[in-house]
Amino acid sequence: MSNRVSVQLFGITREIVGTSALTLDLPKTGQVGELLSNLKEQYPALTGLRSLLVAVNGEYAELNQPLHPNDEIALIPPVSGG
């Protein structure tokens, strides 16, 4: 069974990371917060954003939310629609 998850990237996070999707190992805790910390470590420019949320299966997620291999994960930088 795969322990990898796919993370979709949009807007400035897509430009910072340089791709519109990443495939990552699930973090040890299996939680959103650790995934986000790992990404910020790997791409320090992410820490300069005004906010950076994580969506799991189309809903804004808490940092302690557990992740599962088939989850649809996305980084959500500050939105600016309208």
Partner 1 sequence: MVSITTEPIDMNAAYQHVSTDAAGAITFFFGTVRDNTQNRPVERLEYEAYDRMALAKMQEIADEAGQRWDVRKYAIIHRKGNLAIGDIAVLIAVATPHRADAFDACRYIIDTLKQQVPIWKKEIFEDGQVWVDAHP
Q: Which residues bind partner 1 (CB under 8 A)?
A: 8, 10-12, 14-15, 48-50, 55, 58-59, 72, 74, 76-82
Residue among 8 and 37 whose Cβ is closer to partner 1: 8
Residue among 60 and 66 whose Cβ is closer to partner 1: 60
CB of 45 to partner 1, least distance (A): 10
Distance from C-alpha of 42 to C-alpha of 20, rounded to nearest angstrom? 16
Residue among 66 and 78 whose Cβ is closer to partner 1: 78
Beta strands in the chain (DSSP E): 4-8, 21-25, 53-56, 59-60, 72-76
Distance from C-alpha of 40 to C-alpha of 58, rounded to nearest angstrom? 21
Query: Is-contact 72 8, C-beta < 8 A?
Result: yes
CB of 28 to partner 1, least distance (A): 27
